[in-house]
Structure 1
Amino acid sequence: MGKGDKKTKRGKINRGTFGTRRPRIKKKPSVETKINIDKKNIVTQ
């Protein structure tokens, strides 16, 4: 269990892949984008 192991977190980091052991971190929308989206909805209505 180490860098060469496909199923471990360390192995995923070494290979540069993602999976259940090392899922991708989803970016949260920033406050600025939320404000811009709200303004667009108001203008289009």
Structure 2
Amino acid sequence: MSIYKGLRGVNIRERERERERDRERERERERVVERERERERERRETRERENEEREREREREREREREREREITRTREKRENEREREN
């Protein structure tokens, strides 16, 4: 076997190893991209849940305010009715 045929075999094996390293780097890049997508999805879902909870809290506060207004109105009406009865 000539030295050139031997070197050609070495080069072929080295190119195959390089291709495998390239494939592994590409798989790692894909894993990194997928992890980042997952983190972004989790952040988005967290923001959505927080926004929904804030909206529910605002609605509860509006309901409490309406109830306070109703109570004020009932109290006022009650006083007016008592005054009318006294007169």
Q: Would you say same fold, with TM above 0.5?
A: no
TM-score, with structure 1 as normaliser = 0.35
Choose 1 or 2 for highest CA Rg: 2
TM superposition score normalised by structure 2:
0.19
Greater helix proportion = 2
Which one scores higher on RCO, CA 8 angstroms, separation ≥ 6?
Answer: 1
